[in-house]
Each structure stands twice: as structure tokens, then as C-alpha cells.
Amino acid sequence: MSADRVSYTLDSTLETVNNAEETAGRMAAEAGFDEEEIMKISMAVREAAVNAVLHGNAYDPSKKVTLAFERTAHDLVIVIRDQGNGLDASKIPDPLAPDNLMKTSGRGIFLIRSFMDVVEIHPSQTGTELRMIKHVHGNPADSKEAPQ
Amino acid sequence: MSMKSSTRQVDGVTIVDLSGRITLGEGSVVLRDTVRDLLSKGQKKILLNLGDVNYIDSSGIGELVSAFTTAKNQGGELKLLNLTKKVHDLLQITKLYTVFDVKEDEAAAVKSFTK
């Protein structure tokens, strides 16, 4: 089976966030997703890029964000990496908990998990890799949360 | 597309007509500055018309929460009007739909503010 793969190395800027979102929308459209799914995929990538630029690389101009899209027969696989200190997903508060509902931040990872079929967060001392998968022919039975 | 904001007064209520995207960066800043400016002028009955807001991200959601809380803490009221399906769905999945006072009819929304 052949696969189409493309990757980008991007600066830690707001422009990167917008570019990542636009590119994700284009890739999702090319993969045949409908308008609603395209919106979800591009928004998940936007949120992932925000995390990478702001929380991972902290706008550090010496640090880069890499964004990769791989299209297989069944999936659109998106991987975004930063060069920050590593995101500990276990420490992210549940934004739906009553005490957190009115917080002004902390919903990015939640939205990514809501919009994508599989989400894996791999932190290390050299940065965080966020891997997201959307099934091209979505079968709800296939949807699962990957272990972190 | 960036966000645009304009305000008008109807029966003591300030209606803020927003259009574009409320996202990290300019869109969120415009919303924040607009609400803070209104509250500083004593205009504490605020109706955010989101009918032409076609996109909002987690940062924008955070700004809506901040605007709601800031208005409330200053003795004001902030309500939302004309949510698009995208914004409606986002507020549903983040469980914020029932937190905000969401209206669909402008005249009824204006009347709903405390006199």
C-alpha cells in the first residue's frame, strides 16, 4: 500500500498556528473528508500547534515545530512535535470538572481528543510529540483513546 | 479573516456585533478590549451578537468565559446572541452552553436584561 507523506519545519510563531490549520484543512479536503470533519481536523491541528508554539517552545525563535501529514488508505495521520520540556498529559486538569468549567484556558487537548479518533501524547526531555489519527472512512467502533 | 467588532445601543443594552474569527491573537484581543472598554464606561448590559462569528478556538472560548466572568464580577450581565452551529456545538461539548445565557432573538434578548 502506498502512502503520501509531507512534513514541514516551522517557526514558533502565531503564523505557524494559522499555517498549520490551513494546511490541515487542505489535507483533510484532499483526503475526502466532509466539511464538518475538515473543520474538526483543522481545529485539532490548530490546537496542537498552539500547544507546540506557546506551551512547548514558548515562542522561542531557536526552537522549531515540525508538522507531518501521512495519508494511508484508511487514515489521515498527523504528527506535530515541539522542542519544549515535554508535556505531562496526566497533569492536565479536566476542563469539564465543575471547578474548571469557568477557567479561561486548558481546553486545547480536550478539543483535540473530542475531534480526532486516536490521540497519542509522547513527551520526552527533548519535546512533545502529539500524534493524531482520523479514520478516512470513519467507523465509530474503531474509535479509541490510545494509551499515553 | 480577522475579527471585526461594532457596538450599538438598544434600550440601555449594548449590543456588540462581532464578525470573523475569535482565535488566539487578534480576535481574542479585540473581544477582550471591547468588553473591558464597555465595562470601564459603565455599560454593563452587554449582548454579544455572534451571528457572523464563523470560527472560534479554545483561546476564543477562554475569552468568552473571561468576558462573562469580568462582567459578572463588576455587577454587569453578558449574554450571547445568534450562535452559529459551530459555536453552539463547541459550547455544548465544553459544557459551557448552560453556563452562558444564550438567546436567539435580539428583541427578546434585550428585554431579558435586568431593568
C-alpha cell at A107: 481546553
Identity at B90, one-letter amino acid code: L
Residue in B25, B61, B69 nearest the CB of A107: B61
| Residue A122 domain boundaries | 4-142
Is-contact A95 A101, C-beta < 8 A? yes
Residue in A14, A39, A111 nearest the CB of B25: A14
Q: In chain B, which residue's Cα lies nearest the Cα of A21?
A: B57
Cβ pair B57:A50 closer than 8 A: yes
Domains and CATH numbers, chain B: 4-110 (3.30.750.24)
Residue A134 covered by a domain: yes
**Quick one: CA torsion of A116, A33, A77, A109, rounded to 10 degrees?**
-20
Chain A partners of B56 at a C-beta cutoff of 8 Å?
A: none
Chain B partners of A103 at a C-beta cutoff of 8 Å?
A: 62, 65
**Which run of H or of E encompasses B37?**
helix B26-40
C-alpha cell at A39: 473543520
Strand partners, B77: B45
Per-residue pLDDT of chain A (148 residues; tens, 9 = 90+): 445 899 999 999 999 999 999 999 999 999 999 999 999 999 999 999 999 999 999 999 999 999 999 999 899 999 999 999 998 888 889 999 999 999 999 999 999 999 999 999 999 999 999 999 999 975 444 444 544 4
Q: How far is B18 from chain A (nearest CA, A)?
A: 20
Q: Tens digits of per-residue pLDDT, B59-95?
A: 999 999 999 999 999 999 999 999 999 999 999 999 9
Q: How far is B93 from chain A (nearest CA, A)?
A: 8
User: How many angstroms separate the CA atoms of B34 and B12, rounded?
Assistant: 17
pLDDT score for A76: 96
Is-contact A132 A118, C-beta < 8 A? yes
Reported as a pLDDT band with limits 50, 70 and 90, residue B115 is confident
Mutate to test the interface with B, among A15, A102, A109 (most CBs of B within 10 A): A102
Of B49, B45, B103, give the one whose Cα is nearest residue B74. Answer: B45
pLDDT score for A3: 55
Cβ pair A103:B65 closer than 8 A: yes
Q: Tens digits of per-residue pLDDT, B10-45?
A: 999 999 999 999 999 888 899 999 999 999 999 999
* Number of structural domains found in chain A: 1
User: How many angstroms separate the CA atoms of A45 and A79, rounded?
Assistant: 9
User: How many angstroms separate the CA atoms of A113 and A95, rounded?
Assistant: 12
Identity at B34, one-letter amino acid code: T
Residue A147 covered by a domain: no
Q: How far is B72 from chain A (nearest CA, A)?
A: 12
Report the DSSP pairing between strands B77-81 and B102-103: parallel
Residue in A43, A104, A114 nearest the CB of B66: A104
Q: How far is A3 from chain B (nearest CA, A)?
A: 31
Q: Tens digits of per-residue pLDDT, B36-65?
A: 999 999 999 999 999 999 899 999 999 999
Q: Where residue A36 sits, what CATH number does that domain have? A: 3.30.565.10
User: How many angstroms separate the CA atoms of B38 and B18, rounded?
Assistant: 14
Strand partners, B55: B21
- Reported ipTM: 0.90
Chain B partners of A54 at a C-beta cutoff of 8 Å?
A: 24
Residue in A17, A104, A114 nearest the CB of B65: A104
Of B6, B59, B69, give the one whose Cα is nearest residue A21. Answer: B59
Residue A148 covered by a domain: no
